[in-house]
Amino acid sequence: MTTREAPISIDQFEAFLARPENHDRRFELIDGEISEKTMPTDEHGSIVHIFSGEFYVYFRDNPIGRVTIEARVRPAGRVGEDRLPDIAVILGDKPIQRHGAVDYIPDICIEVQSPDDSLRQMREKARFYVANGAKYAVNVLPAQRAIETYDADGSEALLTGDDLLSFGDLLPGFAVPVRRFFPDTV
């Protein structure tokens, strides 16, 4: 029988992040354990850029929220959790956090699969986001050129090709063909 070390506290995690050797690295706190996120690939960065561009245009024309990239989020009241979604959509007039993590889960959390990310872990993370306040969570699967969606009502879907990624009444009028999120190869 193995014994698990005591969970890392938020204060310990903040101190860990402040160490000089961790300055350019990306970490999450999951169930009280520190987990390093893999460094993004060129493809990953391109997909994140495409998503952020689509959201930028939408919010420019519909000023109901904003999009962030890799901003730390922490669900209110959850000890041992500090996440770093690749893309987050925040609706309403919540102030921009200048230091540390925000104390809520954004309305939409999006993760783009990197080569080292397991689908099981991505799905667990999507369900965590929805269980802790996200209205939608999205997993982007570049190798399959597909998108998984998780809705707060419990529904899940797999979208490909000309299927439209939309978020219902949350983002009225936002509907983008899935194929548009994947860069063409040269």
Instruction: Encode pLDDT of 78-135 as tens digits.
Output: 777 888 999 999 999 998 988 888 999 999 999 999 988 899 999 999 999 999 999 9
pLDDT score at 169: 95
As given in the structure block, the two tokens for residue 105 are 């889960």
CB proximity list for 128: less than 8 A, separation 6 or greater? 81, 83
> CATH: 3.90.1570.10, 3.40.50.800, 3.20.20.70, 3.40.630.30. Which one for 40-181?
3.90.1570.10
In degrees rounded to 5, what are phi and psi of residue 58? -60, -50
Residue 99 CA: distances (Å) to CA of 14, 95, 129, 136, 158: 11, 12, 21, 25, 36
- Between CA 150 and CA 42, with CA 126 as vertex, the angle to 5 degrees is 105
| 26 against 134, higher pLDDT | 134
Listed by start position, the domains of the chain span 40-181
| 49 against 22, higher pLDDT | 49
> Is the distance from CB of 63 to CB of 92 less than 8 angstroms?
no
pLDDT score at 41: 83
pTM above 0.85, yes or no: yes
| pLDDT confidence bin for 1, thresholds 50/70/90 | very low
| pLDDT confidence bin for 157, thresholds 50/70/90 | very high
